[in-house]
């Protein structure tokens, strides 16, 4: 892969691919250039407007002022109605093996091909400027610039959705967005309208479990799974189809932060996820995901306890394993947020030959929505000409004109058939790569209805809950207690308890306890209020079968990858007099393992080590906070230790890191600092080189052994057992 040295300060060489090379021709770089108007006129004075005398009125004639202000006045476009807050990166995708038995999609058939991608991660409910750390679903939208045109896999970090029919999407979003009278709360589902809606739509029960779980609080975009959600189709060159579910599996594992931590991060660094993605790519720690597929032969369509067309259901990995078929690497940050991240237009209908849709009624509605939304958001029908949206292959058709047309179409004809221009552009035979829709047989009446096969609203919600670890279950209880606790209308809280009791009695009882309520007895058939005017309640009643699978390991984050500390952020607390050797030895070892290490001191500037060396801290206690790190180390050095022990911010840093169940290590000499914390447990009279004081908290005499244990602890990510017996909720 060709590399170019980026002009960005301190940046590593930025990776290039076919798409980024094509973007080059649109890039403007002002370094060393002269200032002009938009029409190329060189500007002599960009400081003063043209006036009638030094103290006189500004003249209408001042076209330079007018151009600049007018452009400024028009700088904003509507934000996305959903997924407004997002961050993106460029990268590449490579398939491992030829998948042509399953699909004719060329980019999945050639292991030698490197397909450029642009990926945008997002939250759903918040505005463009909202915090990254909202409890929310995350968008995971991937644009593959293939040699057969763009394929967009517009997914989420959860494998199911709240609703089964696109007609309910505007209702769902109106319910979750800030309430219309006072526009509160921002980027939060913890309010009456959301739960009012949800409590009457039992089909949302499964997704609600995911949204209330730690999946809604990712540690990083780089540590999230992605899912295409709907069942799609793979079609091979012979026209044979299989159902397929798409997955993204992050190679760093799936990790979360604690809810208390998320709320603090929202204040300390609302750009936490954006910064994390940007910094990792700038540092050359390129995030990677494997693309996985679950393939179901058409003959097995009705083999499952759920309907493959129902987007509130997943296919448990125990029933159909996820086959990992390729790898995506994000290796380049965008040059310009607006031009790329904001203007990128995804569409679930952007497919290539070999990938097709199913009749999932949510997917069908999405096929309409995405182009429609770009027309208003990007201002007209030519948004496909915006550089980031252009395919890497040529575009020719008879579509013309419209606002902001960039292409200069030569010739007399913009219609077909035409004899004047040889009937160009020519249609393409299927065998030569022309797209043909899958030839699905449909024999039906036109009817507004929902299939009874969609009415099991609870068994997979329960499967998800039962598959969680103890800590994860507790977090779901806490999340529901928090969210419903913010709901003012008691009837809504009660109705929601009646939904929860269908999922799990203990779960409902614990939430009811937190809310100080009894669980009302609402019969199962009365829970669903999403029924048409003439609908018979019985026809729309939820069902709640047991489900034959008790647990699915893949649904819990507990068993995720925990064998490395790559890109984990570790804070080293230090002050004047720090033991420089202790500090650098641990720091260097952590960095060698791929961690990011910051030295945090009482103030910025220099600290002087006990060996009289100057050390430059990265942050001070004012600018840093424990919630922005994964682990903490306190080196020795008498004066440093004395300063930190007396420094309330340092002790708070450790206390908070403990509360959020993070790994903490201290040099034996720094024991005093640990002793000032609330979590310190007395050292045994005889202690060894590396003594674990409590889960994930250690003190050590020998730096080598200490560091080795510390690294294993950081790799664990969190010590959720510290919450037991739920005295210190993280
Ligand atoms: Fe979207 N969704 N959506 N959605 N969606 C949009 O398109 C919509 C759904 C998803 O980073 C919008 O360009 C409808 C499921 C992502 O730019 C809009 C329905 C899933 C993104 C829209 C759904 C998604 C969007 C807003 C129900 C996961 C951000 C701006 C029928 C599989 C893409 C835009 C980006 C964005 C409509 C449901 C994922 C309005 C009508 C299910 C990741 O078109």
How far apart (Å, rounded) are the C-alpha atoms in residues 126 and 136? 9
pLDDT of residue 381: 98
Instruction: Ligand 1 pocket test: pick from 346, 360, 375 the residue with the most ligand atoms within 8 Å of its Cβ.
Output: 346
CATH numeric code, 569-723 = 3.40.50.880
Minimum-distance ligand 1 atom for the alpha carbon of 169: 27
Complex confidence, ipTM: 0.98
pLDDT of residue 726: 67
Strand partners, 94: 327
Q: Is 349 in the pocket of ligand 1 (CB under 6 A)?
A: no
pLDDT of residue 1: 38
Ligand 1 centroid to residue 82 C-alpha, Å: 7
Ligand 1 centroid to residue 537 C-alpha, Å: 31
How far apart (Å, rounded) are the C-alpha atoms in residues 614 and 511? 54
Minimum-distance ligand 1 atom for the alpha carbon of 369: 44
CATH numeric code, 459-555 = 1.20.1370.20
Residues ≥6 apart with Cβ < 8 Å to 581: 611
User: Helix crossing, 580-592 with 703-716: angle to 10°?
Assistant: 40
Instruction: Ligand 1 pocket test: pick from 123, 136, 139 the residue with the most ligand atoms within 8 Å of its Cβ.
Output: 139
Residues in the chain: 730
pLDDT of residue 6: 44
Nearest CA to ligand 1 atom 7: 370
Nearest CA to ligand 1 atom 42: 161
Strands 569-573 and 631-634: parallel
CA 468 and chain centroid, separation: 21
3-state secondary structure of 464: helix
Nearest CA to ligand 1 atom 39: 155
Indicate the annotated binding residues for heme: 80, 120, 169, 366, 370, 377
Ligand 1 centroid to residue 361 C-alpha, Å: 14
CATH numeric code, 86-380 = 2.40.180.10
Q: Is 482 in the pocket of ligand 1 (CB under 6 A)?
A: no
Query: Domain coordinates of the chain in residue numbers?
Result: 86-380, 459-555, 569-723
Looking at residue 339, the DSSP 8-state letter turns out to be: I
Minimum-distance ligand 1 atom for the alpha carbon of 83: 29
pLDDT of residue 7: 47
Instruction: Ligand 1 pocket test: pick from 231, 370, 374 the residue with the most ligand atoms within 8 Å of its Cβ.
Output: 370
Please check whether residue 129 is in contact with residue 187, taking contact to mean a CB–CB distance below 8 angstroms: no
Q: Is 229 in the pocket of ligand 1 (CB under 6 A)?
A: yes
Cis peptide before 185, with omega less than 30 degrees from 0? yes
How far apart (Å, rounded) are the C-alpha atoms in residues 206 and 204? 6
Q: Which residues are catalytic?
A: 83, 156
pLDDT of residue 729: 67
Nearest CA to ligand 1 atom 20: 155
For the chain (730 residues), the mean pLDDT of every run of 10, in chain order, is 44 81 96 97 98 97 98 98 98 98 98 98 98 98 98 98 98 98 98 98 98 98 98 97 98 97 98 98 97 98 98 98 98 98 98 98 98 97 98 98 97 98 97 96 94 98 98 97 98 98 98 98 97 95 96 97 97 98 96 98 97 98 97 97 97 96 96 94 75 90 93 96 75
Residue 1 vs residues 176, 281, 334, 572: alpha-carbon distances, Å: 44, 16, 18, 37
Ligand 1 centroid to residue 87 C-alpha, Å: 15
């Amino acid at each position: 892969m060709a590399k170019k040295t980026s002009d960005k300060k301190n940046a590593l060489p930025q990776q290039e691919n076919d798409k980024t090379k094509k973007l080059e021709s649109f890039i403007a770089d002002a370094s060393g250039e002269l200032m002009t108007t938009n029409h190329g006129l060189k500007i002599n004075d960009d400081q003063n407007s043209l006036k009638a005398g030094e103290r006189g009125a500004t003249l209408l004639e001042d076209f330079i002022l007018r151009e600049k202000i007018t452009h400024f006045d028009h700088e904003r476009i509507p934000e996305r109605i959903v997924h407004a807050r997002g961050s993106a990166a460029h990268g590449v995708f490579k398939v491992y093996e030829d998948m042509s038995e399953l699909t004719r999609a060329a980019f999945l058939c050639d292991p030698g091909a490197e397909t450029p991608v642009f990926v945008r991660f997002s939250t759903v409910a918040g505005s463009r400027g909202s915090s990254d750390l909202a409890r929310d679903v995350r968008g995971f939208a991937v644009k593959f610039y293939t040699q057969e045109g763009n394929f967009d896999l517009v997914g989420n970090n959860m494998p199911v959705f709240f609703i089964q029919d696109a007609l309910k999407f505007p209702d769902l979003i109106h319910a979750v967005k800030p309430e219309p009278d006072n526009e509160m709360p921002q980027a939060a589902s913890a309010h009456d309208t959301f739960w009012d809606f949800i409590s009457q739509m039992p089909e949302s029960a499964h997704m609600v479990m995911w949204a209330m779980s730690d999946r809604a609080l990712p540690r990083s975009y780089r540590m999230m799974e992605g899912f295409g959600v709907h069942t799609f189709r793979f079609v091979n060159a012979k026209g044979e189809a299989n159902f397929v579910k798409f997955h993204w599996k992050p190679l760093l594992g799936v990790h979360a932060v604690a809810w208390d931590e998320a709320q603090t991060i929202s204040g300390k660094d609302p750009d936490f996820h954006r910064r994390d993605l940007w910094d990792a790519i700038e540092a050359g720690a390129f995030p990677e995901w494997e693309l996985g597929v679950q393939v179901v032969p058409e003959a097995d369509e009705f083999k499952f306890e759920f309907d493959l067309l129902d987007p509130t259901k997943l296919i448990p990995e125990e029933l159909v394993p996820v086959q990992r078929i390729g790898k995506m690497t994000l290796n380049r940050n965008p040059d310009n947020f607006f031009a790329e991240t904001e203007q990128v237009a995804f569409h679930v209908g952007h497919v290539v030959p070999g990938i097709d849709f199913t009749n999932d009624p949510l997917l069908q509605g999405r096929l309409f929505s995405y182009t429609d939304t770009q027309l208003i958001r990007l201002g007209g029908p030519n948004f496909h000409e915006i550089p980031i949206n252009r395919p890497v292959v040529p575009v020719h058709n008879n579509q013309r004109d419209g606002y902001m047309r960039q292409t200069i179409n030569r010739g007399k004809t913009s219609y077909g058939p035409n004899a004047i221009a040889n009937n160009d552009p020519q249609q393409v035979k299927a065998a030569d790569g022309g797209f043909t829709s899958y030839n699905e047989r449909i024999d039906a009446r036109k009817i507004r209805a929902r299939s009874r096969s969609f009415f099991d609203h609870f068994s997979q919600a329960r499967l998800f809950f039962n598959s969680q670890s103890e800590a994860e279950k507790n977090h779901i209880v806490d999340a529901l207690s928090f969210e419903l606790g913010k709901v003012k209308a008691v009837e809504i809280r009660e109705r929601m308890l009646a939904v929860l009791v269908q999922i799990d009695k203990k779960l409902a009882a614990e939430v009811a306890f937190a809310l100080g309520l009894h669980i009302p007895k609402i019969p199962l058939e009365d829970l669903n209020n999403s029924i048409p005017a003439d609908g018979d309640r019985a026809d729309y009643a939820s069902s709640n079968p047991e489900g034959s699978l008790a647990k699915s390991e893949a649904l819990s984050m507990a068993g995720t990858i925990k064998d490395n500390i790559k890109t984990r952020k570790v804070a080293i607390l230090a002050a004047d007099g720090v033991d420089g050797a202790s500090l650098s030895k641990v720091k260097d070892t952590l960095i060698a393992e791929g961690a990011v290490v910051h030295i945090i001191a009482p103030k910025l500037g220099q600290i002087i080590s006990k060996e009289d060396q100057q050390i430059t801290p990265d942050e001070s206690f004012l600018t840093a906070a424990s919630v922005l790190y994964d682990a903490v180390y306190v080196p020795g050095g008498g004066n440093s230790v004395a300063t930190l022990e007396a420094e309330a911010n340092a002790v708070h840093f450790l206390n908070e890191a403990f509360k959020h169940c993070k790994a903490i290590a201290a040099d034996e000499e720094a024991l005093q600092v640990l002793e000032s914390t609330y979590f310190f447990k007395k050292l045994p009279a005889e202690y060894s080189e590396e003594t674990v004081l409590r889960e994930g908290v250690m003190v050590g005499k020998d730096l080598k052994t200490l560091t080795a244990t510390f690294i294993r602890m950081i790799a664990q990510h969190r010590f959720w057992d510290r919450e037991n017996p739920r005295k210190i909720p993280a």
